[in-house]
A = this chain, B = another copy of it.
Amino acid sequence: NIDNLTTSTDDHSDLQSSINSILEKTYYNVETHSSESLDWFNVLVAQTINQFRLEALMSDNIVHSLDDFLAKAELPDFLDQISITELDIGDDYPIFSNCRITKNPLNPQNLQAKIDVDLSDTLTLGIETNLLLNQPKPLTACLPVQLSVSIVRFSGCLTVSLISVNDEGITNEEDKSGKGTALMFSFAPDFRLEFSIRSLIGSRSKLENVPKIGSLIEHQLKSWFIERCVEPRSQVIRLPSMWPSRKNVREPVINEDNNTNANE
């Protein structure tokens, strides 16, 4: 359904020469070109994340989304409902670097950018639940559990490409616009996702650390990530048209003599 995955072998040499022509006309030699920095991109992304954090602080929409997610999550039968007690949305930003174009080994007519991503930040989620002991019979005991899960480090190699998409496969109900461009991205399997997990179990008089629960949570979070965007899986996100249109025009409001320009 994605054009670059369904090319027949007949077109192979044509596409190969078209790839070579693209690289020539953009002055890019995949063998010799040095990798490029993305400092400008880091600034723009950081600004967006900062805005997102400011808005999250003003409302509690993240807590609501997470509560919904946890309410729907499939939990093992020894865990009670989970409620959120602590949330830290971090104060640092991801650093993208070392961007280079490579040929896709699985699909030689597709050029992709590989980018290193590094995030050293503390994103903490604190939760409270009950550990249900179902042996020898259901609900033999119900022990309160406090958990604090922090993501302290993420690093990985991100692969990005722009692909052409058509009606099938990518189009969903809201988006019937047919052909267009999509951003495809995935992370290499050797990513690092490090957690710091504290788990306290029992009543206040007798707290004990239970590493088992921590590793269960860690496994769940890593699986969530792997199932969505770690090779061979990719995320394919259709991009809106960048063609200048009148409906997307914005101009600054002119305040002098109360003369405001139309903003539509």
Interface residues of A (CB under 8 A from B): 1-3, 5, 18-19, 21-23, 25-28, 33, 36-48, 50-52, 54-55, 92-93, 95, 99-101, 106, 110-111, 113, 160-164, 169, 172, 174, 179, 181, 183-185, 225, 227-229, 232-242, 244-253, 263-264
Contact = CB atoms under 8 A, between A and B. Distances in A.
Nearest to A184: B250
Contact of A92 (B25, B113, B249): B25
A245 B228 CA distance: 6
B169 A264 contact: yes
A223 to B, nearest CB: 12
Number of this chain's copies in the complex: 2
B22 A253 contact: no
Nearest to A240: B237
Nearest to A4: B51
A63 to B, nearest CB: 16
Contacts of A101: 39-40, 43-44
A164 B48 CA distance: 7
A93 B22 contact: yes
Closest A-B pairs by Cβ, 6 of them:
A228-B244, A51-B164, A26-B42, A229-B244, A22-B46, A48-B162
A195 to B, nearest CB: 18
Nearest to A261: B232
Contacts of A44: 101, 111, 113, 160-162
Nearest to A246: B228
A34 to B, nearest CB: 9
Contacts of A52: 164
Contact of A26 (B19, B93, B172, B264): B93
A28 B22 CA distance: 32
